[in-house]
Structures are given as C-alpha cells and as structure tokens.
Amino acid sequence: MNSSELKVEEISKNFSGLKAVDNVSFSLQTGEILGLIGPNGSGKTTIINMVTGLMKPTSGRILVDDRDLTRNKRHHFAREGLARTFQTIRLFKKMTVFENVEVSGVSMGKNRKEAAQEAYRLLEMFELSDYADRESGSLDHGNQRRIEIARALALDPKFLFLDEPAAGLNEEESDALLDMLKDFPGQMNLGLLIVDHDMRLIMRLCSKLHVLDHGQTIAEGLPSEIRKNAQVMEAYFGSKVGV
C-alpha cells in the first residue's frame, strides 16, 4: 500500500486581533493515530477546520504529499483525501442509515452500485447493518456517532479527523469505539487524528500526542511521555490525573 503524509507547517489563525492558533506544526502519516489535545479554547477545532479547508489559516501551510492545499477551495481538500466528523452530530436525520453512508460515496463520484456496496460494507464494519433501513435520527447517540464515522470513511479518505467522537458516550460505548478505531489505520491505510477529552480513549488509542494551550504547542510525543510532562499536567490535566 502506498503511504501518504500530511504536513501542517507553522499555521496560525487570527480572529479580530485574537490569535486562536499560533504557529502550530505537526505531521501525520497513513497508518498513524495522532491525538490533538488541550483545554477548551486551545485551538483544536480551529486546526481541524483549517486542515480540512473549512477555514483558511492566516499564515502557514497545509500539504499532502508535498502538494500545497492551503489556499484551495474546500472540495479540493476532500478530493485530496481529507475527511472529518464534527463535535455536534450532523446526520441527515430523516434519511435512513444506509442512505446517509451511501450519499457520501456518491458525492465522491462513485456510481450508485459502487456507493451502495461500500455503504453496506461500512455498516457491517460498524455493526449497523440491522439499522440500515431505519431513519438515522431514530437511533441512540452512540449509534449516530458510528454512522457519522462510517459516512466519513465512505469518502475514501487518506486522513480522517474525528472531533470529539466520544462526546456523550458512556464508558462502555467509549471502549467499543476504541475497539473499532484502533485497527482502522492499518486496515484502511489512513492517518487518524482525534480530538477528544476522553483521556482513557486518547491514551490507549493514540501512538503520539500533540498538546495545545492558548493556541500554542506546549508538548508533543508518546502518550507515556505526555503523562509525565509537568507543563501538560498544569495546563490540561490538573494536578491529579487518573488515566
């Protein structure tokens, strides 16, 4: 399988004089899982918005396999294999579970037969096949999260960005999500970036972490290294951490 690399080089974002993201750099390769963590308001979602083309950086560059996407339109980011989910679930709630996933494939230029085959495969992977003909809005929160991730994967991404995928899930649901996500990079040859406040999920799932505070990078490294970083403990975890 061919490998790809996403490079985020010194990106910043200003809002009316407020620097929400300040000179942040990181890289992500297919096969890796990167956790992007930090307190509320530290710039995590703003970074995902920039890296997926929803928002333009004030400065810096975003590259996939050394192709500069920074000033491209949003649909070019999707065509280059960058897909995401959102903090707030954004399903077509009156459409069926199957239709929600199928439409993503169609949007990428697949014919209906190809999109349907991929949708059924993803529903089986996410244990959603029994709900295929149900309206997505009728399912519980945990299953709606699964639909949203399946829908993003139907875009055939090289890199998938999950913005708080464990939000609203209980511990059992979070563990089930972990079991599903941990093998994706290897099975599907993609890079996975996760933003979440569920530190059990982050520490067990991610191969490396990038920590933000007030829009700036304060640490990066292995989960075992981040656990011991005093600056991270003070800025994000607090003095007592049980992860």
Q: Tell me the C-alpha distance between 209 and 218, whole Å.
A: 11
The DSSP call for residue 137 is G
Write out pLDDT tens, residues 167-210.
888 888 888 888 889 988 888 899 999 998 888 889 999 999 99
Q: Tell me the C-alpha distance between 48 and 160, whole Å.
A: 10
Pull the structure tokens for residue 61. Answer: 């560059």
Q: Tell me the C-alpha distance between 162 and 153, whole Å.
A: 11
Where are any strands of DSSP class E within the chain? 5-15, 18-29, 33-37, 59-64, 67-68, 82-84, 159-163, 191-195, 208-213, 216-221
Q: Is a pLDDT exceeding 70 seen at residue 243?
A: no
Residue range(s) in the chain whose domain bears CATH number 3.40.50.300: 1-81+158-243
Q: How confident is the model at residue 1 (pLDDT cuts 50, 70, 90)?
A: low
* Cβ–Cβ < 8 Å for 185, 192: yes
Q: How confident is the model at residue 232 (pLDDT cuts 50, 70, 90)?
A: confident
The DSSP call for residue 131 is G
CATH number of 1-81+158-243: 3.40.50.300
- If you write DSSP's letter for every residue of 71-94 in order, what string do you get? TS-HHHHHHTTEEE--SS----TT
With pLDDT > 90 as the criterion, what percentage of the chain qualifies? 69
Return phi, psi of residue 229, to 5°. Answer: -80, 115
CA atoms in the 13 A half-sphere facing the CB of 190 = 25
Q: In what order do the strands lie in the sheet with 208-213?
A: 82-84, 159-163, 191-195, 33-37, 208-213, 216-221
What's the confidence (pLDDT) of residue 208?
Answer: 96
* Cβ–Cβ < 8 Å for 181, 168: no
| CB-based contacts of 209, cutoff 8 Å, min separation 6 | 34, 35, 36, 37, 202, 219, 220, 221, 222, 223, 226
Q: How confident is the model at residue 242 (pLDDT cuts 50, 70, 90)?
A: very low
What's the confidence (pLDDT) of residue 198?
Answer: 86
